[in-house]
Structure 1
């Protein structure tokens, strides 16, 4: 299977590293041979329909910061759309930066791939949180696969788990911690009694929080994920603008201490149930499934047949996110094998 990767930041590099590590195993276990035929970043592209040398690609990016410096196959200034026109690929991996205002340029990339009858795997929350129905309908109309496990919870298995393992069940509600950065900050505040500002600063120094942390701490990232779960697992037709969102920036050490004295923790919780579509700080009981530390994500799915099912996993990290992307690619390959 030939892969085109748009975006070569942390996640894109994680996907290439994971393929380099696991491709022999995929060949042995599934008969699946993955070839990365195109990669883009802001400098341009590296494109070879015979497949790029993955270790060399990572080395070039590490040393020069530009995939366009890949010897013989680097093209300076080549746009993502030009790559989609010229590359001979089977599956697009769309991992460009998320834009929650308009979902671009990822939305255009995904629709272009669908129109060209290519499958798509993405971790990009922007287009999914804004245009889920349009994207899903385009994939179905063009007879291609559209997978996005990595868009919610990194390595936490939830979307495919719900569709496949819980396929006999109707899902009534989903409640969860869907952002690792805020969970890390609140966990540290609870353990140390430190201020939000101090822990945020340390989180930024460690690379857990972004230089501009607004998407995480104001609940925007968790709200996008809540929308994706509402649409993909419960069949709602909602977008980011429909979510009631309150972040964690006003949480004080005093409020956390008061909660702890009563046996509770404060966590940023996303909920989809009935008419509720909300992200907000809430009290959770110590010892409950939601009392997870660090960057872990957790979600409980309330079902009709299996009752409550809880999943936990690391919510961020290049290889963790790549694991979900590769699971989607393997799933697409298996579907194609079954369909002949």
Structure 2
């Protein structure tokens, strides 16, 4: 399978790393021989129809900051669209930064690949939370397989779990902790009694929170994931504008302490159901499935046959997110056999 990776930040490098780690196992177990034929970043691209060295891709990026510096096969002055139109590949891995204003350039990358009959795997929440139905229609009309497990919850298995493991169940709602940064901050505030601002600064120093944490702490990241779950798991047709959103920036140590005295924790909870699309701080009982610390994500799916089913996993991280992308690649490969 020939892959084209558009975007080579933390997740793109993670994909390259797991392919390097698992290349021989994938051949032995699935008969899947992965070849990365093109990679792009803001500097340009590295292109080789015979396959690029995944370790050298990472080394080049980390040393120079530019994938276009890849020896012999690096090129400048090309965009992702140019590469998609020039290169012979089977599956696009779209892992550019999330843009929640218009979903670009990821949306155009995905549609270009689909219109050419290629399969697509993405972790990008932008286009999925803004124009989900358009992407699904494009995939269906072009006979493309479209997978996006990594867009919600990093390594936490939820979308494919709902579609495959819970096949036959009617899922009425999904509720959970969908942002690791917020969960880390709230966990630290509960455990140490520290104020929000100080805890956020510490999270930024540790690399858990972004330099600009707005989308995380104000609930927008979690809301994007709620939209994806509503559309994908509950078969709704909604976008980001349909979600009621409240973040965690106004939560005080006093409110957390008061909740603890009553046996509760405050968590940022996202909920998707046919009656409610919401992200907001809520009280959860200590000892409940949502009483998780650190950057863990957790979600409960309410079903008619299996009752409540809860999944948990690391909600972020380069390798963790790449593991979800790799599972989608394998799924596409198996469906072609």
Distance in 2 between residues matched to 1:232 and 1:319, nearest whole Å: 24
Structure 1 position 57, deviation (Å): 1.2
Alignment partners' CA distance in 1, 2:74 and 2:45: 6
What is the aligned partner in structure 2 of residue 273 from structure 1? Answer: 273
1:14-45 per-position Cα deviation (integer Å, ceiling 9, x unaligned): 00000000010000000001000000111100
TM-score by length of 1: 0.99
Measure the CA separation in 2 of the matches of 1:274 and 1:123: 25
In the aligned structure 2, how far is the partner of 1:262 from the partner of 1:295?
A: 24
3-state SS of paired residue (1:182): helix
Instruction: State the match for 1:295 in structure 2.
Output: 295
Q: Distance in 2 between matches of 1:175 and 1:54?
A: 37
Match of 1:183 in 2: 183
In structure 1, the residue corresponding to 2:39 is in which secondary structure? strand
1:128-176 deviations in whole A, cap 9, x for unaligned?
A: 0000000001000000100000000000000000100000101011100
What residue ranges of structure 1 are gaps of 5+ in the alignment?
none
- In 2, distance between residues paired with 1:142 and 1:274? 30
Alpha-carbon distance, 1:313 to partner: 0.3
How far, CA to CA, are the matches of 2:138 and 2:91 in structure 1? 15
Paired with 2:326 and 2:235, the residues of 1 have a C-alpha distance of: 25
2:229 counterpart residue number: 229
In structure 2, C-alpha distance between the alignment counterparts of 1:87 and 1:255, rounded to whole Å: 56
Correspondence for 1:77: 77
Secondary structure class of the residue paired with 2:131: helix
Partner of 1:65: 65
Q: Residue 6 of structure 2 corresponds to which residue in structure 1?
A: 6
Distance apart, 1:273 and its partner CA: 1.8
What residue is the counterpart of 1:173 in the other structure? 173
d(CA) in 2 for partners of 1:265 and 1:38? 47
- Distance in 1 between residues matched to 2:137 and 2:299, nearest whole Å: 27
RMSD of Structure 2 on Structure 1 (CA): 0.5
Match of 1:250 in 2: 250
The number of equivalent residue pairs is: 337
Post-superposition offset of 1:55: 1.1
Once the 2 structures are TM-superposed, how far is the Cα of residue 62 of structure 1 from its aligned partner? 1.2
Alignment pair present for 1:198 and 2:190: no
Structure 2 Cα separation of the partners of residues 62 and 96 of structure 1 = 17
CA distance in 1, matches of 2:223, 2:60: 36
The separation in 2 between residues aligned to 1:321 and 1:309, in whole angstroms, is 22
Q: Provide the secondary structure at the position in 2 that maps to 1:249.
A: coil
Partner of 1:212: 212
CA distance in 2, matches of 1:95, 1:56: 19
CA-CA distance at 1:299 after TM superposition:
0.2
* Partners of 2:109 and 2:292 in 1: CA distance: 36
Q: Which residue of 1 aligns with 2:308?
A: 308
Give, in angstroms, the shift of residue 274 of structure 1. 2.9
Look up the match of 2:153: 153
| Distance in 2 between residues matched to 1:260 and 1:322, nearest whole Å | 36
Q: TM-score, normalised by structure 2?
A: 0.99
Task: Name the SS for the 1:291 alignment partner.
Answer: coil
Give the SS at the match of 1:234. Answer: coil
State the Cα distance separating 1:272 from its structure 2 match: 1.0
Distance 2:31 2:72 in 1: 30
Q: Following TM superposition, where does structure 1 have runs of at least 4 consecutive aligned residues deviating by more than 6 angstroms?
A: none
SS at match of 2:92: strand
Structure-2 residue corresponding to 1:322: 322
Query: Who is 1:120 aligned against?
Result: 120
